[in-house]
Structures are given as C-alpha cells and as structure tokens.
Amino acid sequence: MTELSCQGLQKAFGGLVVTDDLALSVASGEIHALIGPNGAGKTTALAQLSGELRPDAGTVWLDGADITDLSLPQRVHAGVARSYQISSVFRDFTARENVELALQAMDRHSFRFFRPAARNAKRIERAEALLDQVGLGEEATVSAQRLSHGQTRQLEIAMAMASDPQVLLLDEPMAGMAPDEASRLAELVRSLAEAVAVLLVEHDMDVVFSVADRISVLHQGSLIASGDPDQIRADPDVHRLYLRDDVES
Amino acid sequence: MSDPQTAPASPRRTGLRFGLWARGPSRWHVALTVVFLALLSVAPLWVEASGRGYLVTVLTRVVIFGLAAMSLDFVMGYGGMVSLGHATFLGAGAYTAGALTYHSLDGSRLLGIPGTDQALVTWPLATVVGALLGLVIGGLSLRTKGVYFIMATLAFNQMIYFLFNALEIYGGDDGVGLFAARRAIGPIDASDDMVFYYVCFAVLVVFTVILNLVVRAPFGRVVRGCRSNMARMAALGYQTYRYRLAAFALSAAITSLAGAMAVTESQFLSPSFAEWTESGELLIMVIVGGLGSLIGGVIGAGALFLLEELSIDITDNWQFFVGIGLLAIVLGAPRGLTGTLLGGRRSHD
C-alpha cells in the first residue's frame, strides 16, 4: 500500500497565493479527484506534488518518506509519475518509440553510445504491451504527430505508466475528448487504479463523479471540501462556490 | 499487430554487429552517407587526373570543416542546441596543436612540456582540451535557453577570440607561420597534400560512423528527446542537463580535433580560427547541408567551398556570388541538400 500525501503546502507567485495550506493524500487502489474552478490552483498543486515546482512551505511524503527536496526526475524514479494537461508527446518519434523512451528513463543511466536503441527487443516488447494496455496496440509504428487527439491522450497514459509508478498524477487526461473516448479512458484509469494511487485533476464532472472514490474541492488555493462523491454533491459550500447546477441532475 | 509492417519487434541479426545498417526509412540516409563518402574517397584522384591538383587542399578543407560542421549538427540538429560559438573549439584545437608545434620548432617549452609536431600527440590532446572546454562552456551556457543560449555561446566565443589575440608569443592578431614543421602522423609523412587528405578523410569516416551510432543509441535518443520536449524528458525521469552537457562536450571535442587538423593543414596559426564569423560559417554549412543528418554538415562544407572556388575564378567580388548561391539553396531546398535528396525521409531510426 502506497500513499502520497502533503501537508501545509504553500505557494505564492508574487502577491498571488496559489496554494494555501494544502493537505492531500492519495493511496493505492483509489482515485482521488481534485476539482475546482479555473485558477483554483489545481495544476500548481499537481506540479508541487510531482516536483516541478518547489513549494514555499510544506512537506510532501511518499510512504512516510519526505520527498519535498526531490526533483521531478528523482520523484519519477521514486515512483511518482505524471501526465500533462496539454499533450506533450515526442512528435517526431513513433508511438512505440515514445513509450520506449519512457521505459529507457528507468535504466540507471542512458550513457550508452553504440548499441542501437532500436535493437532492444525486451524494451520493444514492454512498450508494445503498454500500448496494448491503453488501446494503442495497432498504432505502435505510427508517428506521434499523426495520432488523433484522443490517441495522444492514451499515449500520454502509456508513457506515464512506463515508469511502473506507484502514484499517478493525471492532469485533465480527458480534456478535449469526445464523450465515448472519455468514458473509455475513464475505464482505463479505473483499471489502473487497482494497483496504483491516482490523483486526478479533471474538469469533466460526469467523469469525476463516476470514477472518483474521493473528491477534494480547491478554491483559491485552499481546500473547501473533501469527501466521497455523495458528500461533495451535498456540500452547500461546494455548490455555492463551484458546482452550482453542474451536478443538479 | 501481426501485420509484418507493424511488428518488427524481434530484431533480426544481420551481418553487421552494430546497427549502422539501419532498417526502415533511415536506410536511405545511410545510403546517402555512404555514397557521399565514396565520392570524397575518389575526389582528389579525380581532380589530380584532370590537372587541377591544387584543388586537393580545398578538398582537405572540405573534409576538416565538414567534420566540424557534422559535430555542430550533432548538438544542433539532434540536440536542439543552437551554438553560435563553435569556432571557440575550432580555435582551441588549433591553438593546442599550433602551440605545441610552435614550441617544437624553436625548442622551447610550453608550461614545462616540450613541444611536438607529431599529430598523434597534438590531435588527441586538442580533442581532450576541446572536451574539457566544452564541459565548462556548455556547463554554463546550458543553464540558459533559446536565444540566450545562442548569445552565451557567442559571448564565450568572443572571450576566447580576444584571448588568442592577446597571445603575443604566437604573433597576437597576426598569427604565426609554422611552415617549417613536419606533417607527421605516426610513422606517416603527410607533407604530401594527397597523403594528408587521406589521413583527414580517414578521421572523417571514423567520426561519421561514431556519430551515426551515437544518434541511434540510447544516448542519442535521449538527446533527440531533449530537443523535442525537454520538460517532458524531465517528467519521464531524465536528468536532461547531464545528457545535453555530454552531447555538447562530445561535439566540442570533435570540433576541436578539426581545429587541430586545420592548423596542421594550413601550417599557420592565427586567431581567425576562433573568429565568430567562423562559427557562423559552420552554422551555414549545417543549414545548407541539412539539419539533423550528420553527413549534411560535410555536404554543406563541400557546397560552400565549391561555391567559393567557382566564384573566385570569375570575379574578385566572389562573396556576392556565394551569397546568391546560398540563397538559391535555402530557397530551393528548405530542408537543406540532404533533406531534398532524401525527400523528407527520417535520418535516424
């Protein structure tokens, strides 16, 4: 059982407080969704958990170990992987090479100068298995720039999974997806969460309320509510500040 | 998945132990590289047979500066690091080899070490000096991004240039002739231009093979990934700075070797090797030849020197015609000469 948690997280850009005394936790086997209006600080919070941004104050723990000082690449090796809101795959690589590159990052180092990367049969096999898992098996040798938007999002997930993470931080994985694509991806995330802790930042409330085990609502950098979907649905503060009629039905 | 075109998962064992003989789209790129090197291997014999033996030294310069341009293409075309300071390393190599040669001529010592004109000593030493300088300059410059990186490399270039200008012992800004030196490469006496050409050509072949292996190796993939999307590389767990720095130092080392070869060729040491316009000329060679193709650097060097040679014959205002020629290439072949020859096929795995 793995748990990523933070306490007292604080971040300001100049006078603008974007994260205010934030405490969160996500454990393996659960999907914890982080929601909130635009500018609530969701992506900034994620960036501090992943190691891209240093908090001004506060602590991040992975399984009780303080990882606040670990950089982004170091946290990946510790077991925390993330995906991006704006797809950022390697456009001049094929889908499979994208995943291979993600797998290669788990080698102790890549200062290997002579043996061609394209000859690593074991890695290629692993990459294809990951692509199959996210439903991209058929597109393995397609150049990443030729993939559809939805396929690119799937590739993002495969790359994040390549490090065999214990914690997966997903930043709006369903953004811009057609409803049927989104629900298939939601299923995938659900199945991943059986073994992995998933922190999900997502705007699509239908998805959030159907897949999340726990939901935390962020407003102006601080949490205003946290609980299971039913509690959040019933929370008057959340309604007033954020949900309004989004989930009336 | 079972479609043979989409499932090359199990790599075939081919005759070559290393994977230079690329499968898939990049075999065209390998073929182009082999063809161009083959042309270079017979070119001096051809110019000599056609009674223009003086062109052998021009070809030697194509090979030497092509090597430098190729190593610049490695950081620029594959690593996305646009360096406007590679003349720094050209100069560093030239001054390492040139200074050793200078001291061997008058029997004096350089920092307590006797000089030598033996290329088996001066060239490897220049390579090491280039690598170390590349680590220092790259180490600092790579902390900046984009245009600032270009400016940082240029700033170091200017510093080194003026340092060489201030070295009165080697003639200051006039430079110093080393015409009495031997061109000895091990037991080979390379004072003959033809012999020297083939020595340089052999070096070029070796580094063409090495760099082509490197860009296809795991290291090369990381470097290429950094060009494409550095933030994502970090998010995958790569310490991008280390890999980019290593690539920069490797490129600096090879460029420095080319500088040492150039001073052995011209037997004249001067700060002009390190002038920033020389950095620009290397950039032009890479862009004309085709970014991200390696052999493009050599082809670009060939095109540039050929244009120069042709227009010098016609007019004193040859630079004007070189300019027109370059414009024609850039407009007619926006992906460089290799890009046009390969029709946009990928130049790596």
Q: Which of A140, A112, A108 is nearest to A124 (CA)?
A: A140
How much is the pLDDT for B322? 80
Decide if A83 contacts A157 (C-beta within 8 A).
Answer: yes
Decide if B102 contacts B113 (C-beta within 8 A).
Answer: no
Question: Which amino acid is residue B48, in one-letter code?
Answer: E
* Residue linked to tokens 């959340």: A238
* Residue linked to tokens 């998010």: B235
Distance of CA A173 to the CA centre of its chain: 7
How much is the pLDDT for B349? 59
Decide if A89 contacts A143 (C-beta within 8 A).
Answer: no
* Token pair recorded at residue B115: 């000089």
* Candidates B26, B236, B243, B245, partner chain A, best to mutate (most A CBs within 10 A): B236
Using alpha carbons only, give the angle B12, B15, B16 rounded to the nearest 5 degrees: 95
Decide if A167 contacts A26 (C-beta within 8 A).
Answer: yes
pLDDT per residue as tens digits for the range B41-83: 999 999 999 988 889 999 999 999 999 999 999 999 999 999 9
pLDDT per residue as tens, chain B (349 positions): 334 344 344 344 333 334 454 445 577 888 899 999 999 999 999 999 998 888 999 999 999 999 999 999 999 999 999 999 999 999 999 999 999 999 999 888 888 788 899 999 999 999 999 999 999 999 999 999 889 999 999 999 999 999 999 999 999 999 999 998 889 898 888 889 999 999 999 999 999 999 999 999 999 999 999 998 998 999 899 999 999 999 999 999 999 999 999 999 999 999 999 999 999 999 999 999 988 899 999 999 999 998 888 888 777 777 788 888 888 887 888 778 888 888 766 666 5
Cα distances from A3 to residues A16, A29, A30, A209, B169, in angstroms, run: 30, 10, 10, 22, 67
How much is the pLDDT for A205? 86
DSSP bridge partners of A200: A33, A170
Q: Residue A216: helix, strand or coil by DSSP?
A: strand
Spans in chain A with pLDDT lower than 50: 247-249
Structural domain boundaries of chain B? 24-337
- Rounded to a whole number, what is the distance in Å from the CA of B265 to chain A's nearest CA? 30
Q: Given an 8 Å threshold on Cβ–Cβ distance, is A93 in contact with B218?
A: no
By C-alpha distance, the chain A residue nearest B12 is A119
Pairwise CA distance, residues B290 & B341, whole Å: 10
Q: Quick check: B19 contacting A, CB < 8 Å?
A: yes
pLDDT per residue as tens digits for the range B251-284: 999 999 999 999 999 999 999 999 999 999 999 9
Alpha helices (H) along chain A: 42-50, 72-78, 95-104, 121-134, 149-161, 179-192, 205-211, 229-234, 236-238
* Token pair recorded at residue A134: 């996210």
How much is the pLDDT for B319? 78
Decide if A5 contacts A60 (C-beta within 8 A).
Answer: yes
Domain B24-337 sits in CATH at 1.10.3470
Decide if B86 contacts B279 (C-beta within 8 A).
Answer: yes
DSSP bridge partners of A66: A61
Pairwise CA distance, residues A148 & A170, whole Å: 19
Q: Given an 8 Å threshold on Cβ–Cβ distance, is A137 in contact with B1?
A: yes
Give the helix/strand (H/E) hosting B208. Answer: helix B193-216
DSSP labels for A77-98?
A: HHTEEE--SS----TTSBHHHH
* Candidates A70, A119, A152, partner chain B, best to mutate (most B CBs within 10 A): A119
Question: Which amino acid is residue B157, in one-letter code?
Answer: N
* Residue linked to tokens 């001073």: B263
Give the helix/strand (H/E) hosting B142. Answer: none
Distance of CA B307 to the CA centre of its chain: 19
How much is the pLDDT for B4? 39
Task: Compute φ and ψ for B177, nearest 5 degrees.
Answer: -80, 145
Q: Given an 8 Å threshold on Cβ–Cβ distance, is A88 in contact with B232?
A: yes
* Residue linked to tokens 């090479």: A97
How much is the pLDDT for B113? 83
Q: Quick check: B243 contacting A, CB < 8 Å?
A: yes
How much is the pLDDT for B114? 86
* Residue linked to tokens 């493009």: B296
- Nearest by CB to A91, which of B10, B22, B228? B228
How much is the pLDDT for A213? 94
Alpha helices (H) along B291-332: 295-314, 318-332
CATH of A3-243, one of 2.40.160.210, 3.40.640.10, 3.10.100.10, 3.40.50.300: 3.40.50.300
DSSP bridge partners of A17: A12
Pairwise CA distance, residues A27 & B196, whole Å: 68
By C-alpha distance, the chain A residue nearest B232 is A88
Decide if B133 contacts B209 (C-beta within 8 A).
Answer: no
Q: Residue B35: helix, strand or coil by DSSP?
A: helix
Q: Residue B174: helix, strand or coil by DSSP?
A: coil
Cα distances from B310 to residues A133, B304, B318, B322, B338, in angstroms, run: 60, 10, 8, 9, 22
